[in-house]
Structure 1
Amino acid sequence: MKHLKSTLLASVLALPLAAPAALAETPEGVLVVAQNIDDIVALDPAQAYEFTSGELVTNLYDRLVQYDAEDTTVLAPGLATDWQADDAAKTITFTLRDGATFASGNPVTTEDVLYSFGRVIKLNLTPAFILAQLGWTPENVDQMVTAEGNTVKVTYDGDFSSAFVLNVLASRPASIVDSALVQEHEVDGDMGNAWLNENSAGSGPFTLDRYAPAQMVRMGANENYFNGAPEVDSVIIRHVAEAATQQLLLEQGDVDMARNLTPDQIASIDSEEIKVETFPQAAVHFLSFNQKTESLTPPAVWEAARYLVDYEGMTNSIIKGQMDVHQAFWPKGFPGSYDETPFTYDPEKAKAILDEAGVETPITVSMDVINAAPFTDMAQSLQASFADAGINFEILPGTGSQVITKYRERSHEAMLLYWGPDFMDPHSNAKAFAYNSDNSDGSYAATTTWRNAWAVPEALNKKTMAALSEADPEARLDMYRELQKSVQDSSPIVIMFQAAYQVAMDDDVTGYVNGATSDFVYYRLVDKD
Structure 2
Amino acid sequence: MKKLLWATALSLSMMGGTAALAATPSGVLVVAKNIDDIVTIDPATAYEFSSGEIVANTYDRLVQYEPEDPEKLVGGLAESWKVSDDGKTITFTLRSAKFQSGNPVRPEDVIESFRRVLTLNKSPAFILTQLGWTKDNLDTLVKKVSDKEVALTHTGAFGPAFFLNVLAARPASVVDSVEVAKHVVNNDMGHAWLNGQSAGSGPFKMTKYAASESVTLQANKDYFRGAPKLNVSIQHMKEVGTQRVMLEKQDIDIARGMGSDQIKALRGKADITIGEYPQAAVHFVSLNQKTPGLQNPALWEAMRYLVDYDGIANKLLAGQMAVHQAFWPKGFPGALNDTPFKSDPAKAKEILDKAGLKDLSFDMDVISSAPFLEIAQSIQATMGAAGIKLNLVPGTGAQVITKYRNRTHQMMLLYWGPDFIDPHSNAKAFAYNVDNADDKYQSTTTWRNAWLVPELSERTMAALKESDPAKRLKMYYDLQKDVQAQGPIIVMFQAQDQVAMRSNVKGYVHGATSDLIFYRNVTK
Question: Structure 2 length normalisation: TM-score?
Answer: 0.95
User: What is the CA–CA distance in structure 1 between the aligned matches of 2:274 and 2:346, rounded to whole Å?
Assistant: 38
| Aligned: 1:476 with 2:472 | yes
Whole-Å separation in 2 of the counterparts to 1:441 and 1:235? 51
Contact conserved, 2:9 with 2:233, CA < 8 A, in 1? Answer: no
Is 2:338 aligned against 1:343?
no
1:96 matched to which residue of 2? Answer: 94
The within-5 A match list for 1:425-440 is: 425-440=422-437
Deviation readout 1:460-502 (Å, 9 max, x if unpaired): 1100000000111101111011100110111111001112111
**Within-5 A mapping of 1:442-461:** 442-456=439-453, 458-461=454-457
Give the C-alpha shift of residue 346 in structure 1. Answer: 1.2
Report the Cα offset of residue 219 of structure 1: 0.7
Query: Residue 488 of structure 1 aligns to which amino acid in structure 2?
Result: Q
User: 2:280 is matched with which residue?
Assistant: 282
Shift of 1:68: 0.5
Aligned-pair distance for 1:333? 1.9
- Aligned residue identity for 1:399: T
Deviation at 1:356, TM superposition (A): 2.0
| C-alpha contact 1:327 1:340 (8 A) present in aligned 2 | yes
1:16-55 equivalences under 5 Å are: 24-55=22-53
Among residues 297, 300, 305, which one is paired with 2:298 in the alignment? 300
Aligned residue identity for 1:199: Q
Residue 490 (structure 1) aligned with residue 494 (structure 2):
no
Amino acid at match of 1:137: T
Do the aligned residues in 1 keep the contact of 2:10 with 2:25 (CA within 8 Å)? no
User: Where do 5+ consecutive residues of structure 1 fail to align?
Assistant: 1-5, 15-22
Partner of 1:407: 404
1:205-216 aligned within 5 A? 205-216=203-214
- 1:465 equivalent in alignment to 2:453: no
Match of 1:505 in 2: 501
Partner residue of 2:108? Answer: 111
For residues 187-212 of structure 1, the C-alpha deviation after alignment (integer angstroms, 9 at most, x for no partner) is 12111111112221000000111100
Q: Which residue of 1 aligns with 2:16?
A: none
Following TM superposition, by how much is the alpha carbon of 1:351 offset from its aligned partner in structure 2, in angstroms? 1.7
Q: Is the 8 A contact 2:323 2:492 kept in 1?
A: yes
Pick the aligned partner of 1:186 from 184, 187, 208: 184
Secondary structure of 2:460's match?
Answer: helix
1:19 corresponding residue in structure 2? none
**Residues 12, 254 of structure 1: 8 Å contact kept:** no
Normalising by structure 1, we get a TM-score of: 0.94
CA contact (8 A) 2:243 2:255 kept: yes
1:223-260 CA deviation, whole Å, 9 max, x = no partner?
0000110010x111111111111111111111111001
More divergent stretch after superposition (390-399 vs 213-222) = 390-399
**Alpha-carbon offset, residue 349 of structure 1:** 1.5
1:304-328 C-alpha deviation (Å, 9 max, x unpaired): 1111111122122112211111111
Letter in 2 for 1:71: D
Q: CA deviation at 1:86?
A: 2.1
**Which residue pairs with 1:3 in the alignment?**
none
Change (3 A) 1:11 1:194: closer
The offset of 1:358, in angstroms, is: 2.5
CA distance in 2, matches of 1:139, 1:246: 49
CA contact (8 A) 1:87 1:162 kept: no
Deviations 1:363-417 (A, max 9, x none): 2111111222221111110000011222111112222222212111212211111
For the residues of structure 1 that align with 2:437 and 2:23, how far apart are their CA atoms? 61
2:332 aligned partner: 334
Structure 2 CA distance for aligned equivalents of residues 109 and 11 of structure 1: 34
Provide Cα deviations, 1:264-297, integer angstroms capped at 9, x if missing partner.
1101115311111111211111111111211111
Aligned alpha-carbon RMSD (Å): 1.7
Where does residue 323 of structure 1 map in the other structure? 321
TM superposition shift of 1:422: 0.9
TM-superposed deviation, 1:445:
1.4
Identity, % of aligned positions: 59
Residue among 516, 520, 523 paired with 1:524: 520
- Note if contact 2:56-2:518 (Cα within 8 Å) is conserved in structure 1: yes
CA distance in 2, matches of 1:9, 1:356: 67
Instruction: Tell me the residue number matched to 1:242.
Output: 239
Report the AA paired with residue 322 of structure 2.
D
| Cα gap change, 1:317 to 1:283, in 2 (>3 Å) | same
- DSSP-derived class of the 2:421 partner: coil
- Tell me how far 1:24 sits from its aligned partner: 4.1
Is the Cα–Cα contact under 8 Å of residues 87 and 159 in structure 2 kept in the other structure? no
Q: What residue identity is the alignment partner of 1:347?
A: P
1:302 deviation in Å? 1.0
1:122 and 2:88 matched: no
Counterpart-to-counterpart distance in 1, 2:49 and 2:499: 16
Task: Name the SS for the 2:134 alignment partner.
Answer: coil
Query: How far does the alpha carbon of each residue in 1:30-79 deviate from its partner, in whole angstroms, 9 at most, with x for none?
Result: 01111000000110111000000110000010000000011101101100
Q: Does structure 2 conserve the Cα–Cα contact (< 8 Å) formed by 1:110 and 1:152?
A: yes
Q: 1:364 aligns with which of 357, 361, 365?
A: 361
- Residue pair 2:336, 2:480 contacting (<8 A) in 1 also: yes
Contact 1:87–1:471 (8 Å) recurs in 2: no
Going from structure 1 to structure 2, the CA distance change for 1:446 and 1:316 (only over 3 Å counts) comes to same
Over 6 Å off, 4+ runs: none
Which secondary structure does the structure 2 equivalent of 1:316 belong to?
helix
The correspondence for 1:136, drawn from 133, 139, 161, is 133
Match of 2:18 in 1: none
Q: SS state of the match for residue 181, structure 2?
A: helix
Task: Check conservation: 1:283, 1:498, Cα contact below 8 A.
Answer: yes
Query: Aligned partners of 2:141 and 2:352: how far apart in 1?
Result: 55
Amino acid of the structure 2 residue aligned with 1:311: Y
Q: Distance in 1 between matches of 2:184 and 2:350?
A: 68
Q: How many residues align?
A: 511
Q: Give yes or no for contact 2:46–2:124 (8 Å, CA) kept in 1.
A: yes
Structure 2 contact 87–467 (Cα < 8 Å) conserved:
no
CA distances 1:115-158 after superposition (whole Å, capped 9, x unpaired) = 01111112111100001000111211111111111111110011
* Structure 1 partner of 2:14: none
**Matched position secondary structure for 2:393:** strand
Match of 1:263 among 243, 260, 264: 260
> Cα offset for 1:12?
5.3
SS at match of 1:510: coil
Whole-angstrom CA distance in 1 between matches of 2:405 and 2:343: 30
* Alpha-carbon distance in structure 2 between the residues aligned to 1:142 and 1:246: 49
CA distance, structure 2, for counterparts of residue 168 and residue 304 of structure 1? 38
Matches within 5 A, 1:131-210: 131-149=128-146, 150-210=148-208
